[in-house]
């Protein structure tokens, strides 16, 4: 029994070759997992931020043209966009780098009954150097999906969009007794 125990410890450096060969592959795999996880986190945060923006705009926007052009444009839309940017992590340098955030665009389109709110977050390309050193024509060989993936990884980044529809602000007036008290 003791002889067998010593036999296992006498073989030094058995897995060194495997570790040296597999380590770069493991690092590449971990980087991809982190970037994919970042995109998933960004899409979930965008859904929550879209709901917040739509609900707040529904409850605080005005029906009259004067207030739509003044208070809604000057204050409300800018304040909602600022709060959404803070929630997504534009003010936190670590979160901004993890999610590869570049810019946020908020569009509000009013119609007769529905208001359409579109949040679009643009991300920077992850720019993994050892993948982006090669020419995309040689790597992809005219494959459209490969070209799109190469463009996301090395050139343009991506976009995550969320569309929310809200109805008009039809809050009931508070109950008032007939005698006005």
Per-residue pLDDT tens digits for 71-118: 888 899 999 999 999 999 999 998 998 888 999 999 999 887 889 999
Domain of residue 95, residue span? 18-167
Q: Residue 31: inside a domain, yes or no? A: yes
Task: Specify the number of domains making up the chain.
Answer: 1
CA distance 133 to 88: 31
* pTM of the shown model: 0.73
Position 22 confidence tier, pLDDT thresholds 50, 70, 90: confident
Q: Residue 75: inside a domain, yes or no? A: yes
CA distance 153 to 91: 24
Q: Residue 26: inside a domain, yes or no? A: yes
Tell me what the mean pLDDT of segment 140-149 comes to. 84
Q: Residue 134: inside a domain, yes or no? A: yes
Higher pLDDT, 120 or 175: 120
Please answer whether residues 99 and 123 qualify as being in contact, where contact means their C-beta atoms are separated by less than 8 angstroms. yes
Percent of the chain at pLDDT exceeding 70: 84
């Amino acid at each position: 029994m003791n002889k067998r125990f010593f036999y296992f410890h006498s073989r030094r450096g058995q897995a060194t070759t495997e570790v040296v060969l597999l380590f770069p592959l493991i690092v590449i795999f971990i980087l991809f997992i982190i970037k994919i996880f970042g995109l998933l986190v960004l899409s979930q945060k965008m859904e929550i931020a879209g709901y917040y923006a739509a609900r707040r705009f529904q409850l605080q926007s005005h029906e009259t043209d004067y207030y739509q052009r003044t208070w809604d444009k000057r204050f409300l839309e800018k304040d909602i966009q600022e709060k959404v940017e803070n929630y997504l992590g534009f003010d936190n340098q670590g979160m901004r780098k993890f999610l590869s955030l570049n810019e946020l665009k908020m569009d509000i389109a009013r119609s007769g009954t529905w208001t359409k709110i579109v949040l679009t977050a643009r991300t920077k390309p992850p720019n993994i150097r050892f993948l982006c050193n090669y020419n995309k024509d040689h790597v992809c060989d005219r494959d459209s999906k490969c070209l799109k993936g190469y463009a996301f990884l090395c050139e343009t980044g991506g976009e995550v969009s969320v569309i929310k529809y809200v109805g008009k602000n039809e809050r009931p007036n508070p109950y008032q007794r007939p005698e006005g008290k």
